[in-house]
Amino acid sequence: MAINYLYPDFEVQRNESRCITCRVCERQCANLVHHYDAETGRMTSDESLCVNCHRCVSLCPTRALKIVKTDHVFKENANWRGEVIQDIYRQAETGGVLLASMGTPKPYPVYWDKMLINASQVTNPSIDPLREPMETTTFLGKKSTTIRRDEQGKLITDTTPQLKLAIPIMFSAMSYGSISYNAHKSLALAAEQLGTFYNTGEGGLHEDFYRHGKNTIVQVASGRFGVHPGYLNAGAAIEIKMGQGAKPGIGGHLPGSKIGQDISKTRMIPLHSDAISPAPHHDIYSIEDLRQLVYALKEATNYTKPVIVKVAAVHNISAIASGIARSGADIIAIDGFRGGTGAAPARIRDNVGIPIELALASVDERLRAEGIRNQVSLVVGGSIRSSADVIKAIALGADAIYIATSALIALGCHLCRTCHSGKCNWGIATQNPELVKRLNPEIGSEHLVNLLTAWNHEIKEMMGGMGINSIEALKGNRLMLRGIGLCDAELRILGISHAGA
C-alpha cells in the first residue's frame, strides 16, 4: 500500500473527565469517526474521517467534545501552501477532479462588507417602523411601458404574470436529490408561511409538494429532469437554469448513490443512474434559442407564469443580461460566484465567475442605460448572508434576493462543505433515511420563518433610518451606499461614492 501523505485537517479533542461514554457521538457520526473501545471502556476517534460538521459536538450532553484545527504544518511557504500541496497529493493518488461543496472558501473580496448604509439626520426625518407603516411587498415581472385605457377612459389593468412577495427574499434553487425530502419540505412550508417562494432546482417536484405550488418556482435545467406539463403548471413561475454561480459553464451533478426510488421517480430517470446534466442546454446554443425556450414554456403554461432565466455571474454578464431582457424573460436571476453548490469541481468553484455585487451593479446600470430595466426584474443570489446584504443588494438595483446557504444554515448546516459525500449528519444534503429523519420539517420551517422574519425586521429598521418607508424607493438608490476601502475602479463599477464623499 502506498504511503498516505495526507495528515487530517482536524483533531477531535475529547475531555476525558467529562466523557460519560454515552456513545451519542458514535451513533450520530455518519463518517464513523467515533468508536467505543470495549477493552478500555473509553471512546476513541479516527480524525482522518472527520469533516468538522459539529454534529457530535452539538449533541454531546456533557460538552466533552470539540474539534480544533490541527497545528501540524508543512514548512512555511507563501506560495506552496499546505492546501496546495495536499491537493496535488490527492490528485496524484486518484487521477480525479477535486470535488467540493458549498460556496468558495477562498479569501476573495466580499464587497457587501465594503459598503456602508446611510441614515437620516436633521434634514429629513427617519421613520419609525414601530409607529408607521413600513412596506416590503415586492412584485416581480415585466412592467408595461404604455398606459392603455378602455372606451370610458378607465385604465386597463391587465399585466403580464407577476410574482407577489411579502418580503423581497426567496429561497433559491436546491434540487430534491441534492438536499433531502425534509429539507425541501421545510423550505416549502416556510415559503408558504412567509408569502414568498422556494425553488425546486433541477430535480423535479416530489408529488407530495404539489400542494405548495403557489409558493413554488419550478426549474427547467439542461438535464430536463422531472419536467412534464403537470410540473410546469404546478408552480407559480418557471425558472430556466442556464448556469449556477458556483460552477459557471458546467451542468449539475448528482451521483447515482443518491438516486433512490423516490428521486428516480421524481426526476424520471432510472434508479441509481448518475444524474449529470449537460453543460449547455442542447437546444440553446445562442440567445435566439433561449427566446424559443422562453416562449415554449409560456405556451405550455398558457402565458400564466412568469419565466425566470437564471445565469451565473460571468465576465460579460451585462451584455448577457441585456440579451435575456430582450428574450421575453420576465425575471433575470444572477448567481454570484460565491454561491453554494451540492457538488462542484473545486477548481471551477474557486476560480470561475465574478462576485455578485459587481455583476449586479453592472447589469442594473447597463439595463438602465439601454432603457429596458423596467422590462425585467432582477433577482440576485450567491452568498447573501444577512439583512444588511439584502439592503445593499436592493440599493445597488436588485428587485429581490435569492438565499440558499443562509437557509441551509438556518436548518442546521454547519458549512462543513462535504455535501457531495451524501453523508450529511444534519439530514440536509443526504438521502440516507436514517440521516434525513434528523431534520424535522416543522422545526426546520419554523427556523426559516424566524430567520426571514428577523431579517425583515432589520430591513425595516434600516429603511426607516434612511427615511424610506417602502422598499421600491430603496431599489437602485445607490446614494444610500458608500464604499469603504475601495479603489476608484471598484467604486465606478458599483456606481457609488466613497465614504466621506
Partner 1 sequence: MDGYHQHQYLEGEVRIPSGCAISGIIDRSGKRFSGSDAITSISVMHDRSNGLGGGFAGYGIYPEYEDFTALHIFYYGSEAKRKTEEFLEEHFDLINLSKIPTEKHRAITDEPLIWRYFVMPLPTKLASSQLDEDEYTARCVIRINKEIDGSYVFSSGKNMGVFKAVGYPEDVGAFYRLDDYKGYSWTVHGRYPTNTPGWWGGAHPFSLLSYSVVHNGEISSYDANRRFIEMYGYACTLKTDTEVITYMIDYLHRRQGLTLEEVSSVIAAPFWSTIECKDEEERNALTYLRNTFASMLITGPFSIILGYNGGLMALNDRLKLRSMVAAEKGDKIFIASEEAAIRIIEPNPDRLWYPIGGKPVIAELYTTGQGGAHGHQLPVSGL
Binding stretches for partner 1 (CB under 8 A): 120, 123-125, 127, 132-133, 135, 137, 139, 143-144, 146-147, 153-155, 157, 159, 162, 368, 371, 373-374, 397, 466-470, 472-480
Angle of the 181-194 helix axis to the 441-465 helix axis, nearest 10: 40
Shorter beta-carbon distance to partner 1: residue 204 or 397: 397
Distance CA 174, CA 404 (A): 7
**3-state secondary structure labels for all residues of 146-176:** CCCECCCCCECCCCCCCEEECCCEEECCCCE
In the structure grid, which three cell numbers stand for residue 214, read together? Answer: 403557489
Shorter beta-carbon distance to partner 1: residue 143 or 265: 143
Angle of the 441-465 helix axis to the 387-396 helix axis, nearest 10: 60
CB of 31 to partner 1, least distance (A): 49
Shorter beta-carbon distance to partner 1: residue 165 or 333: 165
- 204 close to 176: Cβ distance less than 8 angstroms: yes
* Beta bridge partner(s), residue 102: none
CB of 214 to partner 1, least distance (A): 18
* Selection from 172, 231, 228 nearest residue 206 by Cα: 231
Show Cβ contacts of residue 358 under 8 Å, excluding neighbours closer than 6 positions: 111, 313, 490, 493, 494
CB of 380 to partner 1, least distance (A): 17
Residue spans of beta strands (DSSP E) within 206-315: 216-220, 237-241, 253-254, 275-276, 307-312
Distance CA 411, CA 438 (A): 11
Distance CA 39, CA 132 (A): 68
- 394 close to 402: Cβ distance less than 8 angstroms: no
Distance CA 436, CA 495 (A): 45
The alpha-helical segments, DSSP class H, found in 18-117 are 24-28, 55-59, 82-94
Shorter beta-carbon distance to partner 1: residue 43 or 194: 194
Shorter beta-carbon distance to partner 1: residue 136 or 418: 136
Shorter beta-carbon distance to partner 1: residue 454 or 479: 479
Show Cβ contacts of residue 443 under 8 Å, excluding neighbours closer than 6 positions: none
CB of 469 to partner 1, least distance (A): 5
Shorter beta-carbon distance to partner 1: residue 53 or 459: 459
CB of 259 to partner 1, least distance (A): 42
CB of 157 to partner 1, least distance (A): 4
Phi and psi at residue 98, to the nearest 5°: -75, 130
CB of 185 to partner 1, least distance (A): 30
CB of 427 to partner 1, least distance (A): 38
Shorter beta-carbon distance to partner 1: residue 13 or 159: 159
Q: Is 96 left (phi over 0), alpha (psi -120 to 50) or beta?
A: beta
Shorter beta-carbon distance to partner 1: residue 353 or 397: 397
CB of 148 to partner 1, least distance (A): 10
